[in-house]
Structure 1
Amino acid sequence: MFVSAAAGFGFGLSLIVAIGAQNAYVLRQGLRREHVLAVVAVCAVSDAILILVGVAGFGALVRTLPWLLTTVRIAGAVFLLGYALMAARRAILPRPLDASTVGDAKGLARVVTAAVALTWLNPHVYLDTVLLLGSIAATHGDGRWVFGLGALLGSVLWFTALGFGARLLRPVFSRPASWRLLDIGIAVVMTTIAANLLLGISK
């Protein structure tokens, strides 16, 4: 069982420890110290649901509904392009580092909505977490749930470290130029992922 848990932990981390829309958003919120706990919770809980769905074998069902993935690809690409434009705008007109909306209910709703959208409108989470991770978990037989729990633990630790550990980089981001570079990078990442999603529809 330990082997399955360790395998799940390592494989889960290999899927989420990469520069992507979700991680970029968690990093930015962590740097701003803006509703970090809510963002980390949304990402971790969402990932847990997707991991458990994948381990349960729902990946096979998704494969029988190609139109569903196509719809999610289009919706995800549109959302990511919109977020890329906002990041590009911030790069041109950056906000002060401490201009947060902590304690503001509308700000919390906005942040949580963005975190939910960046997670559930991204087809890669279905392809990687539900299909791929689910398929690998199935090879562990009776240990597949232990494998899934290992992946779940890796996900929780990663998002917690990324969200709350980002504050260690705040001295670097005390300069407006650093924020401009971060937002430019986010805009490029979002646009690239959106383009890949749209190109993938015809494949």
Structure 2
Amino acid sequence: MISPVLAGLGLGLSLIVAIGAQNLFVLRQGLRREHVFVVAAICAVSDAVLIVLGVSGVGFVLQAVPWLIDAVRWAGAAFLVTYGVLAARRAWRPSGEAFAVAEVDSVEHEDGGGSVATRTRLLPVMLTCLALTWLNPHVYLDTVFLLGTVANTHGDDRWLFAAGAMLASVAWFFGLAFGARFLGRRLSTPRAWRILDAIIAVVMIALGISLVLPH
């Protein structure tokens, strides 16, 4: 009974523990201490929905209608390149985020429910997180089709497998988001943030271009 859960946990972690657009965004929000819980929750819930779709057999529908993946691929490429250009701009002309992170370590600004006050509104952060998740064609190929296919090999235990994969998503995204907050002091200089944004820019643009290149 435990085996399918562990199998789902292992495959789920293997699919999400990698440098990618979504993980970099979660990491950056964690370092900024900005809407951390909401970002992690969006990623985990989105993964859960995609896993349910995969186990329910939607992955086979996507395989039968390849133009849907192509549409998402081009939309995702455009979004990733745009986000990468914005990150490159931040790296070239820093906006003082490092000093804001340093201030958070010493002064607790209450914002309604006791969270640290932030400069970026919640809605743009949520929309960016949703776009990085749902406009990524790999999430459909990996989470919906691949994970769904493997889950269905477990027969009646496929939902236990799915539960293990969902647990992997929750553990990873919340661990990454809140764990990143402890690195804030190490990134309390403008130079460190410029390096981080430069890395994000390179990865995002490279991922965007790779989506439209012939394979």
Decide which structure has the larger Cα Rg and report it.
2
- Structure 1 segments unaligned to the other structure (5+ residues): none
- In the alignment, which residue of structure 2 is the partner of 1:141? 155
Aligned to 1:165: 179
Greater displacement, 90-99 / 153-162: 90-99
| Residue 95 (structure 1) shift | 2.3
TM-score, normalized by length of structure 2? 0.89
Quote the offset at 1:55 in angstroms. Answer: 1.1
Provide the secondary structure at the position in 2 that maps to 1:171.
helix
- Residue 170 of structure 1 aligns to a residue in which SS? helix
- Evaluate the alpha carbon distance shift between residue 131 and residue 164 of structure 1 in structure 2; reply closer, same or farther with a 3 A threshold: same
Judged with a 3 Å threshold, the aligned counterparts in structure 2 of structure 1 residues 182 and 104 are, in CA distance, closer, same or farther, namely: closer
Aligned structure 1 segments of 4 or more residues deviating by more than 4 angstroms: 99-106
User: Of residues 181, 188, 191 in structure 2, which corresponds to 1:174?
Assistant: 188
Q: Deviation string for 1:117-147 (max 9, x for gaps)?
A: 0000010100110011011111111111100
Q: What corresponds to 2:107 in structure 1?
A: none
The residue aligned with 1:198 is 212
CA distance in 1, matches of 2:33, 2:168: 23
How many residues matched?
201
Q: Which amino acid aligns with 1:186?
A: I
In the aligned structure 2, how far is the partner of 1:47 from the partner of 1:162? 15
Superposition RMSD in Å? 1.7
Equivalence map 1:41-120=2 (5 Å):
41-96=41-96, 97=98, 98=100, 107-120=121-134
Q: CA deviation at 1:103?
A: 5.2
Tell me, in whole angstroms, the C-alpha distance in 2 between the residues paired with 1:38 and 1:94.
Answer: 25
| Partner AA of 2:61 in structure 1 | L
1:12 paired residue number: 12
**Structure-2 residue corresponding to 1:189:** 203
Unaligned runs of 5+ in 2: 105-110
Q: Tell me which residue corresponds to 2:108.
A: none
